[in-house]
Amino acid sequence: MSAPADILTCADLAIGHGQVVVMDRLSFSLAAGKILAVVGPSGCGKSTLMRALGGLDEPLGGRSTLMGVDLHATHGEERAAILRRTGFLFQGAALFSSLTLRENIEMPMREFLAAPRKEIRQLAEYKLSLVGLADAMDKLPSEISGGMAKRAGIARAMALDPDLIFLDEPSAGLDPMSSGRLDELILRLREAFGTTVVLVSHEVPSILRTADFCVYLDPDTGTMGAYGSPKSFLQAGNSPKAHAFFTQARID
């Protein structure tokens, strides 16, 4: 099944915790092969939005679609098939501490691919080599740096060759050099595989390097304050709050 022109859409989406609405009236779309950054002050609902868009949490209102399907109105195998076409990198990478990097990548493959063990092993090694971890395949997560853990997390998110990956704060806690390498990796994956990326981030330099579009969440109004290219957020004529967020973050 080929991906629709807009791989992700939301219309008047409301998100939150329990019955408490954090953000409301969110409406935007993302074309296949593009990179979207979700930005805004801490606690504004960035990760909550990502989880709702990815089908992990139920929205409190409105509608969103993933690859043309409303996940929250779909059940069974159709829903599972769409979810298998997505990958997630959570904050902290969330690798299984008792498994080697290769075993971490093999886990979703063993779950969903009807392939011999040897082939799965080769596929896992290939994914790790793509993210520059060919020499660390047999290491445990405790034996690698934070930047390496993030790259391993991306390799696991790419394990099933998804059409869309969600990355939650991929550059958080990394030094500028490691953050730059991670940005380059995200761009290479997009160019090599046509992967669509939704990333949550407050790292403005990283956003400017990677993202095609940004959605700014405004905690004061509880809705989307701006949507556009990252460079447009640096212009004072756009949303004043988005402009202030981008320019102040660059100064800091």
- Summarised one tens digit per residue, pLDDT across range 118-168 is 999 999 999 999 899 999 999 999 999 988 999 999 999 999 999 999 999
Instruction: Give the C-alpha distances (Å, rounded to integers) separating 160 from 9, 66, 120, 183.
Output: 23, 17, 11, 21
Instruction: State whether the Cα torsion 141-54-169-190 is positive or negative.
Output: positive
**Model confidence band, residue 235 (pLDDT cutoffs 50, 70, 90):** confident
pLDDT at 249: 56
- Domain 6-85+162-251 in CATH 3.40.50.300? The answer is yes
In this structure, the strands spanning 20-31 and 6-17 are antiparallel
Q: What does the domain layout of the chain look like in residue ranges?
A: 6-85+162-251, 93-157
Count other Cβ atoms within 10 Å, centred on residue 6: 15
Terminal Cα-to-Cα distance of the chain (whole angstroms): 45
pLDDT at 244: 87
**Model confidence band, residue 246 (pLDDT cutoffs 50, 70, 90):** confident
Predicted confidence (pLDDT) per residue in 9-58, tens digit: 999 999 998 889 999 999 999 999 999 999 998 889 999 999 999 998 99
Dihedral, CA atoms, 55, 56, 57, 59, nearest 10 degrees?
-10
CA pair distance 132, 125, nearest whole angstrom: 10
Instruction: State whether the Cα torsion 233-36-93-71 is positive or negative.
Output: positive
Asked whether 142 and 97 are in contact (CB, 8 A), the reply is: yes
**Burial grade of 76 (CB within 10 A; 0-12, 13-18, 19 or more):** exposed
Q: Quick one: which H or E segment has residue 86?
A: strand 86-89
